[in-house]
Each structure stands twice: as structure tokens, then as C-alpha cells.
Structure 1
Amino acid sequence: MENLLQLCGRVPQLKGARRFSFDEITKSTDNFSEANHIGSGGYRMVYRGMLPTGQLIAIKRCRQGSVQGGLEFNAEMEVLSRVHHKNVVI
């Protein structure tokens, strides 16, 4: 996650958040394949992924080359890191 967040600006310090390497995220989405693309927003794209444990996850990724939205992306990650729900993995 750290590598992804660096693409969007500063890396928020998220207490208790598990960090995933870019390689782990790439593998879980089959290299961000179009088949795993499940949604888009103004400054991000959402992909379906699968952790090695078999857990299905959604991964938000800043659009390549997008500077706009970096602060919003980081703010969203900080808010989501405070949510304690079985379907939210940060």
C-alpha cells in the first residue's frame, strides 16, 4: 500500500493498518487486469483482488499520472483505517 499511496502524494501513517507491498497488490489483482476492474471515480480506479488466504478484497488505485485527488485519496485512506468492519481491509 505504501508504494500505491506514494503515487498519490504523502503516505498517511495509519495505526493498525496492514501494509501491502506493490508486488502483493499486483499479484492479488492479476496485474490490475481489466477483468478485475470493478469501478472508477474521478481520481481512482477500483479493482477486485484475492489475498493468498482466499479473502476477496477491493483495491483503490490512483489513476496513473493523476496529481489531482491525491489529498482526497489520502484522506479517504485515513478515514477507512478507522473503520472496523470485516469487509474493510487497509
Structure 2
Amino acid sequence: MSLSKPPVPDIEHDAAASRFQTLVDGQRAVLDYELDGGVMVITHTGVPEAIGGRGIAAALTRFALEHARVAGWKVIPACAYAAAFMQRHGEYADLLG
């Protein structure tokens, strides 16, 4: 029997708040950004400790990057997590602005 990863949580884009977010076990995890012209500056990725270690930050970051790609935006990963994620995942290198 193999252990599978838990399903990716449902992620919402709150464009008015410049935030991607998800609710897991009653805890809110977020990725905040600022939009400057056609450039998404990822400013913060936050996952409460109670739900950490489940790949939620990665899911939020991947969702935000895919959104940026579809919207035609470039991305500046100003938060350390997003910068490390983009370094590990070369498939998003074309988005760097």
C-alpha cells in the first residue's frame, strides 16, 4: 500500500485583496502579492504551523504562478519561500520578471 499525498486544497483568488488563500482544518493559509502593471510581486506566503508540512505553501505558490502565466504577467518572488520555490521548479523560469 502506498501513501498518497493529501489532495491539494481548494485555493481561491481574492483579486480585491491581492491574495490567494485556502482554508485547511479551519486555518487560513495565504499568498499575498502586489500587482505593478503586468508584474506580480509575491510579497508573503504564510501557512499556520498547525497545518504546516502538508505542501500547502507549494500548492498556493504553484496556483499563483499558473494564474500569472495565464494572465500574461511576469513574477518577482520577493518572499523567500516563493524565491526558493521558483529556483527548485525551473518550469516557471520564463515567468521571472
- Return the structure number with greater strand share: 2
Larger Rg: 2
Superposition TM-score, scaled by structure 2 size: 0.30
Superposition TM-score, scaled by structure 1 size: 0.31
RCO (CA 8 Å, sep 6+): is it higher in 1 or 2?
1
- Return the structure number with greater helix share: 2
